[in-house]
Amino acid sequence: MKIKILIIVGLSLLLASCSLLEPKVKQSTLSANEKLLFSRLMALGDNIIAGYQSAALTEKHQKRSFVALIAQQGETPDFMQPYIGYPGLGSESYAGYGILRLKYLDDPETPNTVNPDPVIVAEPFADYPDFDPAGQPFVSDEVMFWPLPYNNLAVPGIYVDDVYKATTRLRSRSKSGLLDVILRNPLPDPYGYKTAFAQAKLFQPSLILCWVGMYDVLAYAQYNAINPVTEPPTTKKDFATYFAALMDSLKSTQAAVLVGNIPDILDMPYFHTVPGVVIDTVTNTPVKDESGNTIPLVGVEEGDLVLTPARVFIRQGYGLPANFPKSNGQPLPEDVVLDKNEQAVVLDLIEGYNTAIDSICEARKIPVVDMYSFFKEISQGTEIAGFKLSADFITGGFYSLDGVHPSDLGHVLIANEWLRTINDNLPVSVPLINVPEQVSQIAYSDSLLVKP
């Protein structure tokens, strides 16, 4: 990362920059004690709490993350996140791409499909010459050289122990490509080469929101073309050890602490959007044999989950029976299929992680936001603010285009769950977010809501 010379004339000048202060509050509705609680809000964790969605981290969605929304409700002054310019940095960046975009809900090349056949593309860096992903990916030098720790130091792709151990990408267990960006390496002291927790502690936070651990199991379950996971996932024993150490560290700051538990990732669209049977490319419906039965993809057994990236391989002929047009005679690669044994490993780990979170937090009197139950409710379908939400890909409204991370609307709903837990466990009564008002402000380019 390049280092540019920046002369900071005065802290007050930077803090007065209206374009950087997110969010803005016109009229106070909070008591002095409530303002004090949110005055030095800090967020730590991995993907969702960072505001990552549609396979990238970028300002457009970071500003609508649930942490930013909570800061708005809590009237946090001078709230700052590591805003990344458009098209952002994420899982496609190794190939020169940023965020995913819905180009067509139904592919115009197959206009007669019974079911919509969406076309999703990644935004190429080449189309955004002002964006410097390798040198200065932030939206401005002011953000990069912000003279305080960011209020949100969550890093997509990290493991639970990386929060208090990792100082650089190479000195981390996860090897997350965004670690050096969020930690602002190689800036000089007091920021560069310090862990996320060390930077948070420098901030002397009043309230810490921590949601980490999902990637400890998600990395095992996901397909990764550039960095295949060769090591087993974090064991339940190690997770408990790391999580307890992290909670002790957070408590040492004397801040109020809230923690989220781990959702059932197998409910996410990424794991159940692509069927395990042959699909007709014209009608986008399952092909049936002479007996009227669907035809399994080669390499897929009953009960297996086919991951979203399998679509690319199927288009290349993998998984198609030998007598089908375009078949290359090869089974679907194992990396894009999660078999029943692997699913059992995932579910066992999630249960073990959440058991550890509950017991460790109970012993330390740390409230837990039940994200597991909340995501289960979404997966079963629910009606909120007159709209029907589900875990359906694109049309469900809750998930973004990567099929794992929530959409802008999803973040609104998550924010209210965290606010409810804050109000139930701390001596505050912060107003919840007006969901219909937020819906009217969100442009749905990546998820389509339907009336029930």
pLDDT value at residue 229: 66
What is the spatial order of strands in the sheet that 207-211 belongs to? Answer: 41-45, 207-211, 256-260, 368-369
> Fold for domain 11-85+136-277+337-441?
Rossmann fold (3.40.50)
- Is pLDDT of 196 > 80? yes
Residue 106's pLDDT band (boundaries 50, 70, 90)?
confident
Amino acid at 201: K
The token pair at 221 is: 């379950």
The token pair at 394 is: 């694109």
Distances (CA, A) of 237 to 99, 181, 355: 35, 30, 11
Query: CA–CA separation, 212 vs 58, rounded Å?
Result: 20
pLDDT value at residue 348: 98
Q: What is the pTM of this model?
A: 0.91
- What is the pLDDT of the chain when averaged over all its residues? 89
Residues 33-42 have a mean pLDDT of 98
- Judge whether 81 and 62 are in contact, CB under 8 Å: yes
- Sign of the C-alpha dihedral, residues 116, 121, 127, 132? positive
- Judge whether 51 and 400 are in contact, CB under 8 Å: no
The token pair at 148 is: 């305080």
pLDDT value at residue 111: 75
Q: What count of Cα atoms within 13 Å lies in the side-chain half-sphere of residue 188?
A: 4
Query: CA–CA separation, 298 vs 213, rounded Å?
Result: 34
For 250-259, 371-380, 390-399, which range has the lowest pLDDT when averaged over its residues?
A: 390-399
Give the containing element (helix H, strand E) for 199.
helix 196-202
Count other C-beta atoms under 10 Å from residue 134's C-beta: 10
The domain segmentation of the chain, as residue ranges, is 11-85+136-277+337-441
Give the containing element (helix H, strand E) for 202.
helix 196-202
Query: CA–CA separation, 264 vs 239, rounded Å?
Result: 17
Burial class from Cβ neighbours inside 10 Å (0-12, 13-18, 19+) for residue 410 reads: buried
Residues 171-197 have a mean pLDDT of 92
Q: Please name the residues in contact with 33: beta carbons below 8 A apart, sequence gap of 6 or more.
A: 427, 428
pLDDT value at residue 187: 86
The token pair at 345 is: 């490993």
Query: CA–CA separation, 290 vs 273, rounded Å?
Result: 26
Q: At what angle do helices 340-363 and 236-251 cross, to 10 degrees?
A: 30
Q: Please list the helix, strand and coil fractions of the chain in percent, rounded to the nearest 5, in that order.
A: 35, 15, 55
pLDDT value at residue 445: 43
Q: pLDDT higher for 299 or 386?
A: 299
Q: What does the CA dihedral 196, 200, 202, 206 come to, rounded to 10 degrees?
A: -170
Query: CA–CA separation, 321 vs 58, rounded Å?
Result: 41
pLDDT value at residue 66: 98
Q: Look at residue 440 and give its three-state secondary structure.
A: helix
User: C-alpha angle 135/205/248, rounded to 5°?
Assistant: 100
Tokens 């603010």 belong to which residue?
A: 385
Residues 15-35 have a mean pLDDT of 59
Q: How far is it between the farthest Cα atoms of the chain?
A: 78
pLDDT value at residue 228: 65
In whole angstroms, how large is the CA radius of gyration of the chain? 22
Query: CA–CA separation, 181 vs 179, rounded Å?
Result: 5
Query: CA–CA separation, 158 vs 213, rounded Å?
Result: 8
- Judge whether 127 and 101 are in contact, CB under 8 Å: no
- Is pLDDT of 430 > 90? yes
- Is pLDDT of 325 > 80? yes
pLDDT value at residue 226: 61
Query: CA–CA separation, 316 vs 310, rounded Å?
Result: 10
Residues 390-403 have a mean pLDDT of 93
Residue 182's pLDDT band (boundaries 50, 70, 90)?
very high
Query: CA–CA separation, 271 vs 404, rounded Å?
Result: 9
Q: Look at residue 216 and give its three-state secondary structure.
A: helix
pLDDT value at residue 27: 67
Count other C-beta atoms under 10 Å from residue 71's C-beta: 27
Query: CA–CA separation, 238 vs 300, rounded Å?
Result: 32
